[in-house]
Amino acid sequence: MTKQFNMSLMLFALICACESYNRPNCWSLAEMVRRTKLPFLAELPQFILFPAAENHRDQIEWGRFMSYLKENNRVAIVRFELFEFYILSPAEALDLTNAAVAYRTIKSHNIHHGPNPSQPKVYVNERDSAVNEVFHSSDRKFLQAFRDRSYPPKVGACSRPELCAPKQDGFLEKNYARADPSYLKTLGQAHSGWIFGAIAELVDNSRDAKATKLEISVEMIYYKKSGKDIPLLSVIDDGHGMTHQDVVIMTSIGHKQPENDEPERIGRFGIGFKTGAMRLGRDALVLTQTASSRSIAFLSNLEIPIVSYCRQGKVMEVDTTVQSEALAKYNLEAIKEFSPFNEYLIGEYAGLFPDRAGTQIYIWNLDEWGSDYSLEWQCGSIGGSSFHQGDIYIRSRRIRSRPGQISQKVPLDYSLQSYLEVIFLVPRMKIYVQGSLVKSRPLEKFLNKTTVETGHIMGKRVQLTLGRSQLEWEQANCGIFLYWHGRLIEAYKRVGGMIHSADMGRGVIGVIDVTDLMNDGKGGVWVLNNKQGFQDSESYAHLEWWLGLKADEYWDKNFDQLQLVKYLN
C-alpha cells in the first residue's frame, strides 16, 4: 500500500548520524505494516515528528492518518536515500498531536563527524522556526535546554527520551507536559475582552478544591534575569491540593469532560487554568500540596517541567515512582533558572503549607497595557474604612458593553473587590484581595420590595428573585444576574423594556440560577467555556423571553403606576 502524505513537516530533536542530510518536506509512504511484524523497532533510536499544516485540510488529513495507524495497529514506513523511517501509532507518541518515529540507516554512507559524534543534533524545517519570534529570549534557552535533555546524547540500542521515569509497574511516564507556544497564547485570548474572567478561572479552581480561604494579591519581587523588581500575582488557597497526576492534567491542554454535569463543581472544560494564567501573564509557577505529596510545576510558553515529592514520615522526598532523582533535580534547576524563584524562595513558600494541603499559583511577566500593566493594584490601610480597602483594578476602567446600558459607573466591571462580592450565589470561602477581606454580598439579601417568580421553561423549573436596589438606582444600573452552579456568568443583563429605555427598570435587579436549564441533557452544557456567557441555544432564547416578561410585570406593578390627583378650583 503506497500513499502520498502531502504535508509540510517540522522535525524537533532528530538524533541523526548525518548532519548534512536534507529532509524533504513531502514524505512518500512506502508501505504500512502491522506493528507485530517489526519486532526490532524497540531497539531503534527515535525522534518526535511534529506536523506543520499549511491549511485546515492538512490538519484533517494528519488526524485521519494518525487515527488509521492507531485503529489498525500499523506502522507507516518511509524510505529515503540513507534512512528508513517508521512512523509509529499515536499510542507510542508523547502526544496525540505528534508522532514518534523510529529510524535506521539502510545503506552505508561515509559520514564525517565533528569532534563529538555522539552529540545530538536539532533539525528544524527552514519555513518553521523552532521558537516563534513573539516569545522572549529566555524561552528560547528554555526550549533548547529541554530539547537537549529530552533526547540524550547517545546513539545505541534505545534512544527514548530521558524525561521518562520507570513506574513500579514497568511502564514509562514522562514528567513534563508539552504545550505549543502559539496555542498557549491562543488559549489566553479566551479572556481577551475582560481580564477578570481569567482571575475567576483560578477562583473557580479554589472553590472546587473546597478551599475555605483564598488570597489574591500583587507584590513586587526581584527577578535576577531582568535585574529589577517585577510584579508577581499570587493566588493562594487552603483547598485539598493536587497530586502529581492532577498537576499533569491541569497543565496539559484540556482533558476529557465529565459525562455528567456535577452539581457541586464549576470547572468542566479542562482549560480554565491555562486560559486564566496565560491571559494574566506569560509565566506561572504552581506549588501544591496534599496530605501525602507535593508538586511544583512551571507553566511557560514551552515545556512544562514538573517536580513531585511524596511524604516520608515528617519530610517530603523526591517521588521516584513518577521521576528519577536526576530528572527531578534537572527540572528543579530549570525552574530556578527561568523563573524568579530560587531554592530558598521555593522553600519559604512551601513553608506556608506546614502540614496542611493547599495550592499556590504565582504569575509574572504580567499582561501589559501600553507602557504599564493591564492590572493596577493598591494595598489597603490597616483599620481603614471600606474606601481604603486593598483592591486590584483593570487599568482601563472600561465598562463592558451591554444592550441598552448607558451607565458609566459599574464598579463590578473594573474592581476585583466589587466583582468577587457577587461572584458566588452562596459564598463558601473567605476571599482576600491585597490583604483586605472581600465582603460577600448575596444579592437576594440586599434587595427591597422583593418578589419570587417561578415558572417552567422547556419543562424545567426556574425561580427568579426580583427586587430594587437603591445603590443600583443611584448608579443608573439594572438587570438580571444569571448564575450557573452558583457562579456568576452574566451580570446586569437587560431584558424586556430595559433594553429600549434607560429609565425603565432603573434600580431593579434580578437573581436566577439556571444550572438545570443550561444542561443540554446529553452530558453537555450551554455555557461558554470561558464561563462569561451562554451559548445561543433554544433554552437561552426562551429564558430571555421569560425574564423580560417577568421583569416588565414587576416594574409595571411596583414602580410605573400613574397617580391621579384631583385639583379643586
Q: What is the pLDDT of residues 151-174, one digit of tens each?
A: 333 333 333 333 444 444 433 345
DSSP state of 459: T
Residue 200's φ and ψ, nearest 5 degrees, are: -60, -35
Residue 437's alpha-carbon distances to 110, 173, 392, 421, in angstroms, are: 72, 42, 13, 10
Least confident of 88-92, 319-323, 433-437, 541-545: 88-92
Q: For residue 133, is pLDDT > 50?
A: no
DSSP state of 35: G
Sequence spans of domains, the chain: 3-162, 168-441, 443-558
Give the architecture-level CATH label for domain 168-441.
2-Layer Sandwich (3.30)
Within the chain, what is the greatest distance between any pair of CA atoms? 119
Q: How far is CA 502 from the centre of its chain?
A: 38
Region 373-387: mean pLDDT is 75
Region 183-201: mean pLDDT is 80
Give the architecture-level CATH label for domain 443-558.
2-Layer Sandwich (3.30)
Region 211-240: mean pLDDT is 94
Torsion of Cα atoms, 464 then 468 then 473 then 479, to 10°? 10
How confident is the model at residue 2, as a pLDDT? Answer: 40
Region 242-254: mean pLDDT is 82
Q: For residue 7, is pLDDT > 50?
A: no
Q: What residues pair up with 221 in beta bridges, in sequence order? A: 230
- % of the chain exceeding 70 in pLDDT: 72
Task: Please report where in the chains the cell 514509562 appears, as a residue.
Answer: 172
Q: For residue 267, is pLDDT > 80?
A: no
Question: DSSP per residue over 475-494, as a string?
Answer: TT--EEEEEETTEEEEEEE-
Residue 173's φ and ψ, nearest 5 degrees, are: -135, 125
Q: Tell me whether strands 9-12 and 99-105 are parallel, antiparallel or unpaired.
A: unpaired
Burial 225-247 (b: 16+ CB within 10 A, else e): eeeeebbbbbbbbbbbbbbbebb
Q: For residue 39, is pLDDT > 80?
A: yes
The whole-angstrom separation of Cα 14 and Cα 426 is 54
How confident is the model at residue 374, as a pLDDT? Answer: 95
Region 395-424: mean pLDDT is 93
How confident is the model at residue 541, as a pLDDT? Answer: 97
147 pLDDT band (50/70/90 cuts)? very low
How confident is the model at residue 381, as a pLDDT? Answer: 64
Cα angle value 466/472/473 (rounded, 5°): 95
Residue 443: closest CA among 387, 510, 516 = 510
More confident residue, 272 or 87: 87
How confident is the model at residue 138, as a pLDDT? Answer: 43
The whole-angstrom separation of Cα 51 and Cα 62 is 8
Whether the pTM exceeds 0.75: the reply is no
Q: For residue 112, is pLDDT > 50?
A: no
How confident is the model at residue 120, as a pLDDT? Answer: 31
Least confident of 139-148, 150-159, 259-268, 376-385: 150-159
More confident residue, 406 or 373: 373
How confident is the model at residue 268, as a pLDDT? Answer: 53
Q: Tell me whether strands 172-174 and 315-318 are parallel, antiparallel or unpaired.
A: unpaired
Q: For residue 474, is pLDDT > 90?
A: yes
How confident is the model at residue 196, as a pLDDT? Answer: 96
More confident residue, 63 or 133: 63
Among 269-283, 290-304, 337-351, 485-499, the range with the most confident prediction by mean pLDDT is 485-499
Q: What residues pair up with 229 in beta bridges, in sequence order? A: 222
Mean pLDDT of the chain: 78
Q: Cβ(187)–Cβ(278) under 8 Å? A: yes
Among 57-71, 87-101, 122-136, 257-271, the range with the most confident prediction by mean pLDDT is 57-71
pLDDT digits (tens, 9 = 90+) for 285-295: 999 999 899 99
How confident is the model at residue 168, as a pLDDT? Answer: 42
Cβ neighbourhood burial of 460 (10 Å; 0-12, 13-18, 19+): middle
Region 547-553: mean pLDDT is 97
